[in-house]
Structure 1
Amino acid sequence: MSYGNRGFNRGFGGNSGPKPVEEGKEYDVEVTEISRKGDGIARVQGFVIFVVGGKVGDKCKVKVTSVGPRFATAQKL
């Protein structure tokens, strides 16, 4: 699922610098919001993770499937 580039820069913009999450790794997160596309939004150290199928209030383990310059996507485990 693509969320595109909206030009936002919240400290993780561009391609430089390490991200607080890595593709293929698992993280414990809490979904705090829902995206316009209906996926859950969680954060790790402020870095946005779109959680496919996530609902507000979900406390779950996720596996990161992709990491971009401004956000990552993940699947619930």
Structure 2
Amino acid sequence: MTEISDSLRLLYETTLEERENEYVLTLPKGLVEDSSLANDSSYRVALLESASDSRQSKSDRSETIPQVTEPTDEQRIESQGPPVEVGDVRSVTIDTLGDQGDGIAKVERGFIVIVPDTRPGDRVDVEITNVADSVAFAEPVSKAEVR
């Protein structure tokens, strides 16, 4: 099993496209807008061969790969259930503030955790206090500002 870094912001499958003298990876606008990614920011990109690609021979790879519609974060969460439970203690980084001023962090599969009395950049150990289908609420256990 592959180890996934806690700093992972988005996991998305796409195809590599050749355009003139460069290669391009395309991300749908909605994926960026609905995530903690910011336009004009720099990110590290890891390219992993898909399971089906690793079984194909190099000559087969020149064929057109069919486009697959990716499920939304909400669809993934609904099909797999929330990745947290009441009582879990997690270490999260606050990405942004919500409409009510509470900190918002994301855990596995983009699942949102709302944490009061925090601000963007805070690294917080939290205890999950309430879990709904698409969001969880947590209370800070300890906090360290990351600047």
Fold agreement, TM-score > 0.5: yes
The answer to whether the aligner puts 1:69 opposite 2:69 as a matched pair is: no
Q: Aligned pairs, how many?
A: 67
Looking at secondary structure, tell me which structure has more helix per residue.
2
Is there any run of 5+ residues in structure 1 with no aligned partner, and where?
Answer: 1-8
Q: Tell me how far apart the structure 2 counterparts of residues 52 and 63 of structure 1 sit (CA, whole Å).
A: 12
Overall identity of the aligned pairs, in %: 33
Residues 31-54 of structure 1: CA deviation (Å, up to 9, x unaligned): 000000010000111100001111
Asked if the contact 2:81/2:133 (under 8 Å) is kept, the reply is: no
Alpha-carbon RMSD: 1.4
TM-score by length of 1: 0.79
Question: Following superposition, which runs of at least 4 residues in structure 1 exceed 4 angstroms of deviation?
Answer: none
**By how many angstroms is 1:59 displaced?**
0.5
Distance (Å, rounded) in 1 between the aligned partners of 2:105 and 2:118: 9
Select the residue among 14, 24, 27 that pairs with 2:90: 27
Q: Which has the higher contact order (CA 8 A, sep 6+)?
A: 1
Q: How does 1:1-77 map to 2 (within 5 A)?
A: 10-11=74-75, 12-13=77-78, 17-45=80-108, 46-77=110-141
Amino acid at match of 1:74: A
Quote the Cα distance in structure 2 between the aligned partners of 1:50 and 1:22: 14
Separation in 1, partners of 2:100, 2:121: 17
Q: Where is the strand percentage greater, Structure 1 or Structure 2?
A: 1
Aligned counterparts of 1:47 and 1:54: Cα–Cα separation in 2: 18
TM-score (norm 2): 0.43
